[in-house]
């Protein structure tokens, strides 16, 4: 199932999917997550939406599982409990208790990996 969600403080629909999804999954403000990502990404000379940076950031904090042939919708259906950050080509989304939260429905996209976010 998909539910529209945009945690951008100005309700802008911009390329801030990393910030939006992580702020929802960690129950922190968009601004706090933004500041943290800028701090850590700038240490290694990355942008906050760089795939290598995002995956390293998540790997340092949460367990990863990869599914390169499963869709985001299939993963959400198979995981009716828990919080997950799920990556796909050029995007990351939040799944909470089987519901995909995003500014558009990525259900049919092929996922890369998922990180289980601990409460």
Long-range contacts of 96-100, Cβ-Cβ distance < 8 Å, separation of 24 or more: 96/24, 96/25, 98/1, 99/1, 99/2, 99/3, 100/1, 100/2, 100/3, 100/72, 100/73, 100/76
Q: Where are the domains of the chain?
A: 2-117
Chunked in runs of 10, what are the mean pLDDT values of the chain (119 residues)?
Answer: 90 88 96 95 89 93 93 98 96 97 97 93
Residue 54: strand, helix, or coil:
helix
pTM of the shown model:
0.92
Q: What pLDDT is recorded for position 12?
A: 80
Q: What pLDDT is recorded for position 10?
A: 84
Residue 63 CA to residue 114 CA, distance in Å, equals: 8
């Amino acid at each position: 199932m998909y539910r529209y969600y945009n945690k951008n403080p100005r309700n802008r629909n911009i390329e801030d999917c990393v910030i939006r999804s992580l702020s929802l999954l960690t129950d922190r403000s968009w601004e706090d997550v933004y500041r943290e990502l800028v701090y850590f990404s700038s240490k290694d000379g990355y942008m906050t939406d760089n795939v290598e940076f995002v995956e390293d950031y998540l790997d340092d904090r949460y367990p990863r599982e990869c599914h390169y042939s499963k869709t985001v919708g299939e993963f959400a259906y198979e995981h009716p409990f828990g919080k997950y950050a799920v990556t796909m080509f050029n995007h990351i989304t939040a799944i909470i208790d089987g519901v995909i939260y995003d500014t558009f429905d990525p259900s049919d996209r092929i996922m890369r990996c998922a990180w289980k976010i601990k409460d």
